């Protein structure tokens, strides 16, 4: 006859081991990639719009690069949808990709978002795929972008 306390202990130990293993998988900083979508959206028109036009004025748009990055990102909306943002706005603001940064004012306030936006546009024009751009962003190649020269 099995002892019920021993069975519960073994079951509890198994649950603990699975929980610990699962937690370790998600907490590994080497695998800590910000949120992004692995493929293009099915319908870009269903997404919130990238800020444009008259909305690109006012106190939040004091530098020419701020307007310019929104204009460039709007041209590659489905590409930036597939890219992570390494300022970690996915955690702080609930963003789901780099595209989210330009649906509101965050892209004007954050140099990381702006650099990544310019970098994504530049790389897209060079014929790079979203996966190639994502890999380059993970290597922090966007950091070479000088916002004052945009």
Query: pLDDT tens, 62-115?
Result: 999 999 999 999 999 999 999 999 888 878 888 889 999 999 999 999 999 999
CA separation for the pair 150, 146 (Å, rounded): 7
- The Cα-based distances of 21 to 8, 27, 28 in angstroms read 20, 10, 11
Q: Residue ranges per domain, the chain?
A: 1-32, 33-149
Tell which residue, 10, 118, 134, 22, has the closest CA to residue 67. Answer: 118
**How far is residue 132's CA from residue 118's CA, in Å, rounded to a whole number?**
15
The pLDDT, as a whole number, for residue 26 is 35
pLDDT for residue 73:
97
Residue (of 78, 74, 72, 144) closest to 111 by Cα position: 144
Say what the pTM is.
0.76
8-state DSSP, 141: G
């Amino acid at each position: 006859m099995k002892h019920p306390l021993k069975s519960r202990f073994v079951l509890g130990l198994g649950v603990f081991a699975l929980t610990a293993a699962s937690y370790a998988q998600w907490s590994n900083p080497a695998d800590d990639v910000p949120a992004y979508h692995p493929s293009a959206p099915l319908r870009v028109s269903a997404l919130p719009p990238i800020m444009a036009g008259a909305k690109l004025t006012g106190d939040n748009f004091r530098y020419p690069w701020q307007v310019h990055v929104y204009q460039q990102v709007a041209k590659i909306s489905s590409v930036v949808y597939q890219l992570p943002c390494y300022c970690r706005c996915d955690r702080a603001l609930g963003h789901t990709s780099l595209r989210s940064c330009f649906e509101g004012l965050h892209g004007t306030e954050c140099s990381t978002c702006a650099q990544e936006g310019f970098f994504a546009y530049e790389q897209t024009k060079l014929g790079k795929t979203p996966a190639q751009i994502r890999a380059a962003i993970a290597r922090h190649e966007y950091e070479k972008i000088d916002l004052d020269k945009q």
